[in-house]
Structure 1
Amino acid sequence: MQTLLIALGSLILYLIAYHTYGRWLARKIFKLDPDRIPPSIELQDGSDYVPTSKGVVFGHHFTSIAGTGPIVGPTLAVIWGWVPALLWVLFGSIFIGAVHDFGSLYISMRNRGQTVGDISGRVLAPRARILFLSILFLALTIVLAIFGLVIANVFKMFPSSIFPCLIQIPIAVIIGIWLHRKGISLTLPSLIALGIMYLSVHFGDWGPLHAFNAELASWSILSWCILLLVYSYIASVLPVWVLLQPRDYINSLQLLSALGLVVAGLVIAALFGVGSGAEKQALEIVAEPIRLGENAPAGAPMIFPFLFVTIACGAISGFHCLVSSGTSSKQLQSETDAQFVGYGSMLTEGFLAVLVILACVAGIGLGVSSPGGETLFGEAAYHAKYAEWGAAGKGAISAFVEGSANFIKALGLPGQFAVALMGVFVASFAATTLDSACRLQRYVTQELGHATGIKPLQNKHVATIFAVVIAGLIAALPAPGTAWEVANLGKGGLILWPVFGATNQLLGGIAFLVILFWMWRRGLPIWFVAIPALFMLILPATAMIMQVFIGPDAWLTGDKPNYLLATIGIATLALEAWILVEAAKAWPKAKGILEAPPTSEPA
């Protein structure tokens, strides 16, 4: 019953937050104006700037910001116990993450759809633009290099998810063209698409499709990375309504309905148990509330500050400012839709993270497979997954898939269907983030081209190819410490992955800084931004300093130095320090002084 109370209590808390704090921000602080012409209409071009209903933009925005972040982060963080992870997700998403996403979306809409990085050059300092864009480029390169690996691994672990994920692409194109040309209501296409996708999950591994899935699952990681990056290029340069919007929208329908099944299964399992007769199991939390001191897991870093960079998406993620100001701000057809998309999507992601936590600390207690082949239950299942830090990292996704599938099986649905559905769930989230990240990297690269005067990078095809090639070269490398063999190629994203957590959260802090300056120049209240900004500038920097300089595993001073990561970490800290110096110099002169308006169209 404790599991059910946490789930329902979290949902109620998020609904209250949306209708109180979110509404206060929208009406009293940002003063969203329904009569203001948004960038999607002012700069409508049929490609990037496309006026779109808030339901479709919500689907695109939610699936893009979520990705596997609110899955991987919480599944790792529960190694410190479920209470710290839950508290950070709940209060982080309401007071930090949702404010960050909403604020980034709002100021972008007030600046002709420019990204937060581009806006920083006018509201903060001219040099801040290149510094900010450089951090954005690094963070997005890591995302592009690693997410192909994530998707390939999901396909290898759960081959039955391959066909259902691939079939989403032609469905999305058909729906996009249908809606764009006919201008019809979303209801019928949505129902048709949702029905086809669930049928693909149910029948997607039957007969010849089983051999099809098995063949693609045998592909090398490198092959999948190349294919997915080529797909990302195509999705990035096509008009947004052809593939990106409809794919994210229909994905959101499937993903949100799958979340509904997880919640329904959780309710049934909590009230009636799972199984029958003497084998009936009660749903209960099988993990410790907190694991510190003598009970601390082997190999795990300190809970502070690493909890706050391990759980990014689900609480606060700097990547979200790119989606808010990179794509969503160019699509909303009314400024008043920004609360629903910006604030509401983050709370939805927070609730997803809560369900992930419950799946990993309660759902897996209903039975998970061990490396030896036997099925483990209760506390034994949790400790098999979370005995030490290295094992938790390798089994993070499987812990969520198996735990959430146990909830769905409580509804009486077949176990094979439940596992396939959750595999599709994870892979689809990762794929939507991959193609959105590629489009965002195109914007960032074009803006860098404008900022530096490099004209070829101002072209969208050149910018996209440049971004994809850089990410592809990194992704093609073997994982650190492994031999140059075909089987190891395609895992190069793991080389830079250790710096992503702190870099991503630092990006959130800098985005807060831009929002803060925008508000300060207009004499608006700033405390609700200033406190999260301080939090998100100090914590990631602390984590990065510890990773570079402190402990036996430190990248620079440890027993086995990693000079590449140390160089990137020190460079990131230097960029942050530089931006803070620019901010300190500009702060006294900024209050009440409006920056120059955006004089040209964004890249």
Structure 2
Amino acid sequence: MSSLVLMLVGLAILILGYVLYSKFLARRVFKLNEDFKTPAHELEDGVDYVPTNKFILWGHHFTSVAGAAPIVGPAVAIIWGWLPAFLWVTFGTVFFAGMHDLGSLWASTRNKGRSIGSLAARYIGKRGAALFLVVIFLLLLMVIAAFAVVITGLLVGTPSSVIPTWGAIGVALLVGVAVYKLKWPLVPVTVVGVVALYSLIVLGDQVPVILPDDFLGIGPASFWIITLFVYGAIASLLPVWILLQPRDYINGVQLFVGLALLYGAVLIGALFTASKPELVAPMWNTDVPAGTPSLVPLLFVTIACGAISGFHGMVSSGTSSKQLDKETDARFVGYFGAVGEGLLSLGTILAVAGGIGSVARWEEIYANFGAGGVNAFVEGGGALMENGIGLPASLSATVLATMAVLFAATTMDTGIRLLRFVVQEIGDAAKFKINKVWATLIVVAVGLGLTFSQGLDGDGGLRIWPLFGTTNQLLASLTLSIIAIMLIRKRRNPLPALLPLVLVFVMSFWAALEQLITFADPANPDWLLFVLDVVIIVSSIWVAVEAFIAMRKAGRDDPEPADADERLVAVREDL
């Protein structure tokens, strides 16, 4: 089958989802109102609460939620065949991720920019909220530790990505000053910023940076890990307009440039070259390697970002809701942010299913479960761009590796900021005030401790990563339960939240139980992961039960009085 056909069908599904379904959610379910005073205006402080242009905020939101996960997940899950991955990415983005991301952004905006953990306390109860915070803390810890290792692997394995990775910080700082201090127009600033970033990519391809085995008394991996945590700590403490917003915005634009190159390579390669890009991966793989888990339920937790992800709800409620200029911007920022991630996952499927040169090479890469990942994406995508648009293989690899590094880095520094919020919330719950500097130091200390817990090569950063998929998806289902409770209390249609909630909770809970059995295998037990999995399972059950009770109570109680702005929307619709 032609890669072009798969690309066009996927693009059509995602575009129709945004044009039609997101409009239905915005108007009929959430009833977004541009006259509502958002937390960014009500609580503006110039640090976390900053009214932001929707395009810049979309860039921050999108690159923060994307990271490397929408690349890694589909690149691993394609071992079951390209069709299951394609269906879950496209329809999951439209009906699951879009609803979840837009809904959590709306829910937080309607509650003064409170985080999902704080919303759990209000809508589910204090006991459920306490357990909710446990799940959130573990998930964010997994993200910052694992992404530090992933980024380090790319910086060491693709040294041409070093200069553009760190040079992007300078570009972001200049963009922030130009937009916020000098008040220059966004479009020319964007063009100059993207040109500068891609110039750094070309420079990096010509001047790769390879650190010696003994650099400042430590190895390259240790140096990059420590540097990343120091950078993340500083970035998380700075006002969002200085670095976080402009860095994420420029990264978001460069992602779409990179995706345009990838999709353009498929189109041009199919129409104008002799070597047509064909899918070499099986449509449905019935001959998976020994030890590969069953497609159901593992597909639904292997591909999280790019279909639905609980981490997105933390970004929506942790940073994005505090920067939303108008409530109506939530459709573009939240739902289209999910669509952007779906486009990245679809591009990954095209790269690893159609960019790998032959069936034999594909089978060589996917000789066991867990293979593929970012390296398969870089290899396949690089081949597509070289064959389709003539971009040299080394430069193509640099473009894709830099893309992966920059997204993982933005997710990591946003994760540190979010985990700082969680530490402060835990302190508040314990009646112990923790300022943001001390909270950040605690986060960095715990993150570095986990990352180096198994040696200076950083393998400890991936120690608890096997729990990420199930934890992430359980958190998504619990976030959907909060959205559903709010809708029920307002007497609006909760089905767009309840239907994804049920499927995601069942699949992720099923996967967590299967993992529990694996961790307790007498031949190769892993008691740390077993205990953590038990904690996550028990916490999720408890929160789910309390959420169900809260839903029933919300249905029996009197409807929540409509705010003045909601009554105004109703009048406008009647007119």
TM-score bin, normalised by smaller chain: over 0.9
Match of 1:555 in 2: 519
Q: Which runs of 5+ in 2 are unaligned?
A: 563-575
Alpha-carbon contact 2:14-2:93 (below 8 Å) kept: no
Work out whether 1:465 is the aligned partner of 2:441.
Answer: yes
Alpha-carbon contact 1:156-1:217 (below 8 Å) kept: no
Aligned to 1:581, which of 531, 537, 545? 545
The within-5 A match list for 1:358-397 is 358-365=350-357, 378-390=358-370, 392=371, 395-397=372-374
Match of 2:49 in 1: 49
Aligned to 1:352, which of 319, 344, 350? 344
Match of 1:406 in 2: 383
Q: Give 1:440 shift.
A: 0.9
- Range moving further from structure 2, 119-128 or 503-512: 119-128
For 1:427, the aligned partner's letter is V
For 1:34, the aligned partner's letter is E
* Alpha-carbon separation, structure 2, partners of 1:12 and 1:596: 40
Alpha-carbon contact 2:148-2:225 (below 8 Å) kept: yes
Work out whether 1:424 is the aligned partner of 2:418.
Answer: no
For 2:311, the aligned partner's letter is F
* Alpha-carbon separation, structure 1, partners of 2:549 and 2:494: 18
Alpha-carbon contact 2:156-2:210 (below 8 Å) kept: no
Q: Give 1:425 shift.
A: 0.8
Alpha-carbon contact 1:222-1:491 (below 8 Å) kept: no
* Alpha-carbon separation, structure 2, partners of 1:398 and 1:193: 27
* Alpha-carbon separation, structure 2, partners of 1:119 and 1:430: 27
RMSD of aligned Cα (Å): 1.7
For 1:451, the aligned partner's letter is A
Aligned to 1:415, which of 388, 393, 396? 393
Tell me: CA distance 1:159–1:596, structure 2 relative to 1, closer, same or farther (3 Å).
farther
How big is each residue's C-alpha offset from its partner over 1:57-95, in whole Å with a ceiling of 9 and x where there is no partner?
A: 011111111100100000000001111110111111111
* Alpha-carbon separation, structure 2, partners of 1:45 and 1:313: 31
Q: Identity over the aligned pairs, expressed in percent?
A: 40
Tell me: CA distance 1:67–1:299, structure 2 relative to 1, closer, same or farther (3 Å).
same
Match of 1:95 in 2: 95
The within-5 A match list for 1:514-525 is 514-525=482-493
* Alpha-carbon separation, structure 1, partners of 2:64 and 2:111: 22
Match of 2:468 in 1: 500
Alpha-carbon contact 1:80-1:297 (below 8 Å) kept: no
Tell me: CA distance 1:179–1:215, structure 2 relative to 1, closer, same or farther (3 Å).
farther
Alpha-carbon contact 2:163-2:203 (below 8 Å) kept: no
* Alpha-carbon separation, structure 1, partners of 2:505 and 2:438: 34
Aligned to 1:309, which of 301, 304, 317? 301
For 1:31, the aligned partner's letter is K
Q: Which runs of 4+ in 1 moved over 6 A?
A: 594-597
Work out whether 1:538 is the aligned partner of 2:506.
Answer: yes
Tell me: CA distance 1:427–1:596, structure 2 relative to 1, closer, same or farther (3 Å).
farther
The within-5 A match list for 1:471-490 is 471-478=447-454, 484=455, 486=456, 489-490=457-458
The within-5 A match list for 1:57-96 is 57-96=57-96
* Alpha-carbon separation, structure 2, partners of 1:526 and 1:126: 23
For 1:502, the aligned partner's letter is T
Alpha-carbon contact 2:104-2:483 (below 8 Å) kept: yes
Alpha-carbon contact 1:123-1:595 (below 8 Å) kept: no
Match of 2:245 in 1: 245
How big is each residue's C-alpha offset from its partner over 1:143-193, in whole Å with a ceiling of 9 and x where there is no partner?
A: 111111000101122110110111011111121122211222111221111
Work out whether 1:436 is the aligned partner of 2:393.
Answer: no
How big is each residue's C-alpha offset from its partner over 1:296-339, in whole Å with a ceiling of 9 and x where there is no partner?
A: 22221111100110000000011000111111111110000000
Match of 1:453 in 2: 431
* Alpha-carbon separation, structure 1, partners of 2:432 and 2:510: 35
- Range moving further from structure 2, 409-418 or 305-314: 409-418
Q: Give 1:200 shift.
A: 1.0
- Range moving further from structure 2, 76-85 or 534-543: 534-543
For 1:396, the aligned partner's letter is G
Match of 1:601 in 2: none
Alpha-carbon contact 2:4-2:267 (below 8 Å) kept: yes
The within-5 A match list for 1:288-327 is 288-292=282-286, 295-327=287-319
Match of 2:568 in 1: none
Tell me: CA distance 1:54–1:255, structure 2 relative to 1, closer, same or farther (3 Å).
same
* Alpha-carbon separation, structure 2, partners of 1:283 and 1:250: 30
* Alpha-carbon separation, structure 1, partners of 2:394 and 2:145: 31
Q: Give secondary structure in 2 for the equivalent of 1:85.
A: helix
Alpha-carbon contact 1:50-1:331 (below 8 Å) kept: yes
Q: Give 1:288 shift.
A: 0.9
